[in-house]
C-alpha cells in the first residue's frame, strides 16, 4: 500500500519547505528511539517522508506518480536508527537512492549548525523572478529585451570584498582561514563535536583589516541593474528564461542567486497557436467557395495569396506550409492552418434572389 507522506508529517499538500521542516523536527524529537516517547518504526517513517518532501525533485515525482512513486523510479526507504547512527559517525546510507546528510539533520534536531563536511560555507543569494509581456509575433520570431532592477549588488567601492580599498585582507584568526570552527554540544546522544560556521568571518575564512566605509563591510549595496537578454523564437506563454548569477547578492565570499524571467504572450485578435502551428479563419463568399478563387490571407509573415479550390466546404482547412512559429530549440517552423468560413448573406436583392433560384433549379 502506498504511503501518504503529507499525512505522516501532518501537513497539507500545499505546505512550504519551512512548514515541512518544522513538522519533521517536532515529530523526530517525539519518536526518537532514545526518548521516552520514542518509536523506531515511527521515526523511520517520519524520516522517510521528510527525505522525499524536503527534496524538490523527489517531491515533484511523488506528487506526479502518487501510488506509483516507487515504481516510477522513486526514492523509497527512509533512514532508520542504524542509518542515523552510521551518519553520526561520518558515514551515510545510500541504499535505495537515499543520502543521509548528518550535518543538516543534526542541526535541525539539536539546534546547531551543520553545513558541508569541512571547508568554507557555501553562501548564495536569493533568486529573483520578474514577469514580462511580449506580443504574439515576438513569441513567434524571438526578440531582444532589456529590464531594469533595483536589488542588492556587489558594492561599487570594494567590489564585493567588504574591505576598504587599499586595506589588506588576512586569514581569520578565529578559524585559521577554514571558515568553520569546532564546537561541543550536549545532545540526547551525549556530548558531540561538530563544525559550525565561524561567527567572526561568517564562514568566509578571511577578514579585512579595515571595513569598506561605503557598505560597512557587508560587500553589497542596493543599486540599479540593467540586463539585456534574448527571448528565443518559438517561446510559449508561461515559459521561463534563467539568467545565471543575476539574482540577489548577499555580500563577500558569496555567489549571487539567479534571475528568472517569466514570459507572458499577449493573445492575438486573429491568430491562435498550438505548439509551432498557427490557426486562423479565412472568410470567403459563396461564389468564391463554389467557383474557387485566390484570396489574400493574413499571416505572421504578412499577407499571402491563398488559392481556395473550387467546391471548398465551410470548415475545410487550407495548409500554408512553413508559415507557423519557430520550433523552440529545434530547426524549422510549423504550419499555418486557415479554416474556411463560407459567408452566407442574411439579405439579398431581388436580382440575386432570382439568380439563386435559377441556380437552384440547375443543381
Task: Outline which parts of the chain fall under CATH 2.10.230.10.
Answer: 128-265
Cβ atoms within 10 Å, residue 26: 13
> Residue 353 contacts by C-beta under 8 Å, 6 or more apart in sequence?
none
pLDDT score of 84 more than 60: no
Give the residue among 326, 327, 282, 333 at the shortest CA–CA distance from 305: 282
pLDDT score of 112 more than 70: no
> Residue 16 contacts by C-beta under 8 Å, 6 or more apart in sequence?
none
Residue 233: what pLDDT?
94
The strand ranges marked E within 165-292 are 169-171, 180-187, 190-197, 206-208, 220-231, 240-243, 259-265, 272-274, 277-285
pLDDT score of 362 more than 90: no
Residue 189: what pLDDT?
55
CATH number of 272-362: 2.60.260.20
Average of per-residue pLDDT across 78-91 = 43
Mean pLDDT, all residues of the chain: 80
Question: What 3-state DSSP class applies to 278?
Answer: strand
Query: What tens digit of pLDDT does each residue of 310-341 get?
Result: 999 999 999 999 999 999 877 899 999 999 99
CATH number of 128-265: 2.10.230.10
Residue 188: what pLDDT?
57
Average of per-residue pLDDT across 60-86 = 52
CB 146 within 8 A of CB 242: no
pLDDT bucket at 109, cuts 50 / 70 / 90: very low
Residue predicted with more confidence, 169 or 172: 172
Handedness of CA 220, 222, 228, 232 (dihedral sign): positive
pLDDT bucket at 263, cuts 50 / 70 / 90: very high
C-alpha 215: how far from chain center: 32
Beta strand 293-299 with 240-243 is unpaired
Write down the CATH superfamily of domain 5-110. DnaJ domain (1.10.287.110)
Residue 223: what pLDDT?
92
pLDDT score of 289 more than 80: yes
Crossing angle of helices 40-53 and 17-31, rounded to 10°: 170
* pTM recorded for the entire structure: 0.58
3-state SS string over 93-110?
CCHHHCCCCHHHHHHHHH
CB 296 within 8 A of CB 274: no
Task: Outline which parts of the chain fall under CATH 1.10.287.110.
Answer: 5-110
Query: What tens digit of pLDDT does each residue of 2-55 get?
Result: 678 889 999 998 889 888 988 988 888 888 776 777 788 888 888 888 888 888
In percent, how much of the chain has pLDDT > 70?
A: 80
pLDDT score of 97 more than 50: no
Crossing angle of helices 81-88 and 40-53, rounded to 10°: 70
The strand ranges marked E within 177-239 are 180-187, 190-197, 206-208, 220-231
Task: Outline which parts of the chain fall under CATH 2.60.260.20.
Answer: 272-362
C-alpha 253: how far from chain center: 25
Amino acid at each position: 500500500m502506498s504511503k501518504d507522506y503529507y499525512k505522516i508529517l501532518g501537513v497539507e499538500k500545499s505546505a512550504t519547505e519551512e512548514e515541512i521542516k518544522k513538522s519533521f523536527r517536532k515529530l523526530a524529537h517525539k519518536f526518537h528511539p532514545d526518548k521516552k516517547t520514542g518509536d523506531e518504526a515511527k521515526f523511520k517513517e517520519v524520516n522517510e517522508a521528510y527525505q522525499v518532501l524536503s527534496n524538490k525533485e523527489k517531491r515533484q515525482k511523488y506528487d506526479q506518480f502518487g501510488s506509483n512513486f516507487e515504481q516510477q523510479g522513486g526514492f523509497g526507504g527512509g533512514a532508520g536508527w542504524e542509518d542515523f547512527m552510521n551518519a553520526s559517525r561520518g558515514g551515510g546510507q545510500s541504499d535505495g537512492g537515499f543520502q543521509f546528510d548528518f550535518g543538516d539533520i543534526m542541526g535541525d534536531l539539536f539546534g546547531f549548525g551543520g553545513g558541508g563536511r569541512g571547508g568554507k560555507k557555501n553562501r548564495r543569494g536569493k533568486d529573483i523572478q520578474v514577469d514580462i509581456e511580449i506580443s504574439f509575433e515576438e513569441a513567434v520570431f524571438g526578440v531582444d529585451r532589456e529590464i531594469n532592477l533595483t536589488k542588492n549588488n556587489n558594492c561599487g567601492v570594494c567590489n564585493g570584498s567588504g574591505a576598504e580599498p587599499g586595506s589588506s585582507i588576512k586569514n581569520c584568526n578565529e578559524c585559521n582561514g577554514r571558515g568553520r570552527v569546532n564546537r561541543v554540544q550536549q545532545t540526547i546522544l551525549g556530548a558531540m563535536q561538530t563544525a559550525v560556521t565561524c561567527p567572526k568571518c561568517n564562514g568566509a575564512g578571511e577578514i579585512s583589516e579595515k571595513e569598506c566605509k561605503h557598505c560597512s563591510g557587508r560587500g553589497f549595496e542596493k543599486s540599479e541593474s540593467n540586463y539585456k537578454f534574448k527571448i528565443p523564437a518559438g517561446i510559449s506563454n508561461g515559459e521561463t528564461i534563467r539568467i545565471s548569477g543575476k539574482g540577489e547578492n548577499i555580500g563577500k565570499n558569496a555567489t549571487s542567486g539567479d534571475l528568472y524571467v517569466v514570459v507572458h504572450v499577449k493573445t492575438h485578435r486573429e491568430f491562435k497557436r498550438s505548439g509551432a502551428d498557427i490557426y486562423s479563419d479565412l472568410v470567403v463568399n459563396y461564389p468564391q467557395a463554389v467557383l474557387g478563387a485566390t484570396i489574400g490571407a493574413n499571416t505572421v509573415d504578412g499577407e499571402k495569396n491563398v488559392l481556395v479550390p473550387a467546391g471548398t466546404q465551410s470548415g475545410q482547412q487550407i495548409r500554408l506550409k512553413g508559415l507557423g512559429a519557430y520550433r523552440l530549440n529545434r530547426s524549422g517552423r510549423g504550419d499555418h492552418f486557415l479554416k474556411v468560413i463560407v459567408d452566407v448573406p442574411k439579405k439579398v436583392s431581388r436580382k440575386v434572389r432570382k439568380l439563386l433560384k435559377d441556380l437552384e433549379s440547375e443543381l
